[in-house]
Structure 1
């Protein structure tokens, strides 16, 4: 008798790997899978991304193994093994059925069949690595810190990022760059890296410097390292140095600006010996501060240096050589290419960040331009910079208020990005007027004396005020309000980096409020900066024109600006986009037409065929996988078509067969009970029984009530029949099935009920 997959793993695969010295991490959950836009559950358990094994050597993750049963071909696991390895930026993947082993090098695409698995030493040799294990093995093997309250664990991609950085350092590279999307936990990742380095005794002096360019980021990092005692954490500034308190500690936090200040005839950073720090971490290293305060990094040039960024290289090199100044400011020229990249689209696909929807809403004056009272021609780029447009601000505020009401989003957290402080003040006032609540919207900019308190209030998860933060750029980085569900652009942008940072305010998960997605409302054309490679630039739209941003002249804000008043402003263009996991962004109408073609292809015989596919659990699952492969998501249509209670199959029918009306789940359940009750009672043998004795029909009535709320998949799960509404009426699942006549009969009747549930019908 051949072994199934589980026995093949336990009795054949695992012993061979262990004998070679591999440490096995079984059933590695790479991610929970993409967040459901709608529905009861945030995640679909069947979509979890789980690798059979992660192979480690001396703590270093080196390969993924996909296991098959003895009866299957090892080749059947190659594709999935490679896919999972690439998700984790691992070079090697292995597929095996216990007797055959197929090793794939995912960098070259080459593979080889073998009779035994490779040893750890062989894969390390293939990587051409020379590691001083006497120094670095302790860091690789050291465990991660586990907070006893939050129980927050290191995610698989964070684990790989940490080990990639350690691997480069261990090979003698003293500059390393990590590229991780906003919201994926860069600071937490670095805290865990530093924890391993210090506990693994890999740093000679045990001194780490964490560099930022903003106080909010410095404070955030200081709090993130709270597992270290107060005596081990030091915030560097002039006062700390002047008092001689700057040399005792393990992890030091500072802004570039503070280190660049003068103290006793030299820079603050020059009060440290050049070899004082073992490691310098440069947060948000893509920003211009990196170039401006280059002296700090040069002074500590003998230390390991780790750059962190959420945005890929923005400087377009083309064919010309970079100037000296550009080289200083170019992140990748200084640090080299990222050793690990985790993009926004991958984080969304893995289920660690939420997907987003996009609506472009363009006014007539933005579309056509405006001739001001001074005779000059103004466009979107000039509005609020060169001319005040109060009527436009009011019209956009009123449209935003209306559309937020349409989607029931008025009480959800919203960030609005404006052109300048004055523009932000006008917009906040308009939203307060519309809401009738003086605390509903607040300007949060540096011009506000209490901006830090307003930030803290806005960051509190829950129903706190303000609900809307109107800002310019204060909340672009170093600010975490995970329950933000709307990001509004009223400010034209030329910088893709800035756009990513602003959009990143909405990407974070927030299970406390059941956040499934966020929405971008674009009134300024900022979404033209979407990036298809990193997080989704639309293939059918043109990027914003290139060109250097004009430098702001000193005192510009104090110059009087002409005011365009008495202008009739309307929303002249509304475009909705579906943003997919592969990075593409498709106009809703085009997405619906592409989906319609596929739906008609799989159900070419008509609606009856689509329903037949849906009735069978296996064919339904195959259809769902085929839909996902083509990025067709019923949940996206459910949102855009406002069909919250419709069955997925009816949403597909609406798109495929262009039905004028769609039944919801309650309509289907009611039709079955009203029109097929005679059949059901006869089939169950309860037609002659008084209603109080109709056990089976009561069970199916309860099951249909459950279907109304949760859909058909739940009724196919045995655990559903142990839910309170079943248990209170029918007892345990065992009691229920025994009284019914056995689980086989219950399952058989469920199949018949599904056939009567899924019949063609109009709403």
Structure 2
């Protein structure tokens, strides 16, 4: 047997897997092959989208199920044994695996990040692959886990529900890093995970492993609203069973349960609950999970002092999507550096979170408006003579025409895309939310007449609107479609189907901005939500360019002797507590002016797309495509060569899509009838372009079909017509013979026989492609 003739998969089957098995690895429980650990980034341009390639490891080795410790990258035998090391190391960083191997079937190259071996990297024979016990002992030493009981904690397995969901790689990382930290004796732990990445599912797996091993017997889960407590208890935590779980709703405490769920003490507004935690002894709980621990208002800080410090002997885990890091507030001072971080940028890159595009809208009064002398508003108040700008609109000065222009633009977007796309309009205050609701109702009068709940206001003062909150977030409910709000929907609301977020509020807080963006990041591919749009009227999306948006959090608050370890808060807005939901609703300004008759119009719009590097692309699709194609192909000749060498043009077009080059979106801007090849040459290399119809006519003029039988000529002419209509990839499809107009000529078997054998038909297809492009050599 000549190894050089074997495929990569054959090398795995015949050499790598036997070597692993011989070293003592259980192939069924400890070894997984071809593990796809990301879904591939969703790339959006125009109204088009596609997925990039996901990341896939050839082998991942687990000491226990869901406790991965090593990765193996395989290559065929034509390549050197260490050829796959760069990719393996990249994947090991993402998966946080300390042991990295590559192999081409001759031997292994072993890269040991733990420093517990003799060398950082060395070549070892197939017979020298380390055993599970060997690698696990090195792993424990690397993690600083030397106590036998600590080792038992780390080795405790996950909860497995056959047919249920399994943790994603970043959730495994979060759970394993947390359990390891607790096994080492760490008492304060912070996990930073972007909105929509499954923090409560992660929390469940942490609690399950610690509870099963009896490391933590009594657990308290703190959240900020009753609905979330019920959702958590009956959802992710359901495997524990109701017999041992209890939601604390009043001061009368039943101490017979093991897992408790409760609201932050300072967020309920329910007198019976205040200080109810003192019904427990200070050492009652072993573990406290603090959900959304970025909270930092004065009342919440009080809750932290009173609850967390009261149960100071318990291990405490903070979960947040947005670490609170300002000149006044730092939750890392309390919990410590995060043991694991998974950002919005990484979630989008992996394809687990929805990317976004931004529509920035500028009106003629954005830079400032000065009232005419002696202007009186509708209530008889003289409007103060000064220059008003974006910060003032709807906070100090309400201009009817501006509200109308915003409502018109939102409605125009919905009509052009999907009038039933869930939409949140963030307003300055309750008054602004009410006026925006009215304007949107008038703009969408046709649908509101049929469906009165098409547009609603969801704010703390609106009983009817609040009753619609559950319907708005329910994936199965169509109405309401548009919700105007102030602060109520900024956080804590699981708005899975929101496709449009409108920013018409002054957003000064990065934490608030992150939370607002998080309302749209959840993916619902089956329901048709793969990205969301942000329409910005207040230049709030400038925050995307701030390094703090998706950067590394840093500790800023540094308590001195005598200071509280829980820092004060910078918020100045009074918190209103309403039905256990935090509503930082800003009351209307009594000195606000209300004016009309002001000419307001949109003077500029700019659409920005989420780029591969996590930055917003502000150039046109044409410019963006040109830049990216020239990164892939240095010259026109190199592109032509690659095009001609591609057996399947669809594969090359797919590779371009992976780089963010969506030709279908580009056709919307440049020309729908242009051939894909001509489109690239024209946009990237300034070449004159032919339409598909022109290329097809050139083929017909050359009488290329003359050498075929009459039936074969009919088939080829049908294929050429298909190319004219739908492009080159349509005739490469195996199902093309089943599509009209070709299917009218006969069954697929009959049509193939017109050329002879199947190979003859496929050869004819290749020749037809060559004829289509025969002037590009």
TM > 0.5 fold call: yes
Q: How many residue pairs are counted as aligned between the two chains?
A: 714
In the superposition, relative to structure 1, how do residues 162 and 446 fare at CA in structure 2: closer, same or farther (>3 Å)?
Answer: same
Q: Secondary structure at the match of 2:424?
A: strand
With a CA cutoff of 8 Å and minimum separation of 6, indicate the structure with the bigger relative contact order.
2
Displacement of 1:378 in angstroms is: 2.3
Please state how far the C-alpha of 1:385 moved relative to its aligned partner. 1.7
**How do 1:190-589 residues align onto structure 2 when only pairs under 5 Å count?**
190-198=203-211, 200-205=212-217, 207-224=218-235, 225-238=237-250, 241-242=251-252, 244=253, 246-257=254-265, 267-288=275-296, 291-294=301-304, 295-315=306-326, 326=328, 329-371=329-371, 373-405=383-415, 407-436=416-445, 437-438=447-448, 439=452, 440-461=454-475, 464-530=478-544, 551=573, 557=588, 559-589=590-620
Residue 404 of structure 1 deviates from its aligned partner by 3.8
> Residues 644, 167 of structure 1: CA spacing in aligned structure 2 closer, same or farther, 3 A cutoff?
farther
Check whether the contact 1:37–1:636 (CA below 8 A) recurs between aligned residues. no
Equivalent position to 1:58, from 60, 64, 68 = 64
Secondary structure, aligned partner of 1:284: coil
Match of 1:541 in 2: none
| Alignment check: 8 A CA contact 2:92 2:98 kept | yes
TM-score by length of 2: 0.81
TM-superposed CA distance for 1:66, in Å, is 1.0
- Do residues 113 (structure 1) and 122 (structure 2) align? yes
Output the aligned Cα RMSD. Answer: 4.0
Q: 1:81 aligns with which of 83, 88, 92?
A: 88
Matched, 1:180 2:206: no
Per the alignment, in what secondary structure is the counterpart of residue 377 of structure 1?
coil
Partners of 1:731 and 1:457 in 2: how far apart? 50
Distance 1:640 1:749, change over 3 A: closer
The answer for the alignment partner of 1:9 in structure 2 is 12
| Worse-superposed segment, 131-140 or 169-178 | 131-140
* Between 124-133 and 276-285, the greater mean CA deviation after superposition: 124-133
Instruction: Give the deviation of 1:658 after TM superposition.
Output: 5.6
- Matches of 2:571 and 2:267, distance apart in 1: 29
Q: Structure 2 CA distance, aligned partners of 1:558 and 1:349?
A: 42
CA 1:740 to 1:419, structure 2 compared with 1: closer, same or farther past 3 Å? Answer: same
- Alignment check: 8 A CA contact 2:265 2:307 kept: no
Q: Does 1:155 align with 2:176?
A: no
Cα distance, 1:647–1:80 mapped onto 2, change above 3 Å: farther
Q: CA deviation at 1:234?
A: 1.1
Pick one of 620, 623, 637 that aligns with 1:593. 623
1:527 CA displacement: 0.5
Runs of at least 5 residues in structure 1 that lack an aligned partner in the other structure: 317-325, 538-546
1:741 aligned onto 2:756: yes
Distance of 2:114 and 2:90 partners within structure 1: 12
Corresponding position of 2:771? 756
Q: Judging changes above 3 Å, is the alpha-carbon distance between structure 1 residues 94 and 645 closer, same or farther for their aligned structure 2 residues?
A: farther
Deviates more, 1:130-139 or 1:19-28: 130-139
Compared CA separation, residues 459 and 360, structure 1 to 2 (3 A): same
* Alpha-carbon distance between aligned partners in 1 of 2:670 and 2:262, rounded to the nearest angstrom: 49
- Does the aligned pair in 2 maintain the 1:35–1:348 contact within 8 Å? yes
Q: Give the superposition deviation at 1:106.
A: 6.7
The one-character-per-residue Cα deviations of 1:612-663 (angstroms, maximum 9, x if unpaired) are 533432696896688578x542269538728678665454345325689x87
Distance 1:367 1:604, change over 3 A: same
What residue number does 2:560 align with?
Answer: none
Partners of 1:422 and 1:566 in 2: CA distance: 20
The CA distance in 2 between the partners of 1:579 and 1:679, in whole Å, is 45
Offset at 1:361?
0.6
1:581 aligns to what SS in structure 2? coil
Q: In the alignment, is the contact (CA less than 8 A) between 2:368 and 2:388 conserved in 1?
A: no
Between the aligned partners of 1:526 and 1:640, the Cα distance in structure 2 is 29
Note the 1:637-676 alignment, pairs <5 A.
637-638=665-666, 641=669, 648-657=676-685, 668=692, 670=693, 675-676=698-699
Asked if residue 35 in structure 1 is aligned to residue 45 in structure 2, the reply is no
Contact 1:213 1:257 in 2 (8 A): no
Question: Does the aligned pair in 1 maintain the 2:357–2:608 contact within 8 Å?
Answer: yes
State which of 705, 718, 726 in structure 2 corresponds to 1:682: 705
Name the CA shift for 1:145/1:603 in 2 (closer, same or farther; >3 Å).
closer
Q: Secondary structure at the match of 1:84?
A: helix
Partner secondary structure for residue 299 of structure 1: coil
Instruction: Return the offset for 1:383.
Output: 1.8
Could you tell me the TM-score, scaled by structure 1's length? 0.82
In the aligned structure 1, how far is the partner of 2:47 from the partner of 2:624?
27
8 Å CA contact 1:100–1:113 kept in 2: the answer is no
| Aligned residues of 1:534 and 1:583 also touching (Cα < 8 A) | no
Contact 2:85 2:101 in 1 (8 A): yes
User: Is 1:633 the equivalent of 2:646?
Assistant: no
Distance in 2 separating the partners of 1:39 and 1:104 = 44
For residues 292-324 of structure 1, give each alpha carbon's deviation from its aligned partner in whole angstroms, at most 9, with x where no partner exists: 3122112222222221111245325xxxxxxxx
Aligned CA distance change for structure 1 residues 431 and 675 (closer, same or farther; 3 Å): same
User: For residues 652 and 486 of structure 1, do their structure 2 counterparts lie closer, same or farther at Cα, with a shift above 3 Å needed?
Assistant: farther
Structure 2 Cα separation of the partners of residues 84 and 379 of structure 1: 49
Secondary structure of 2:281 counterpart: coil
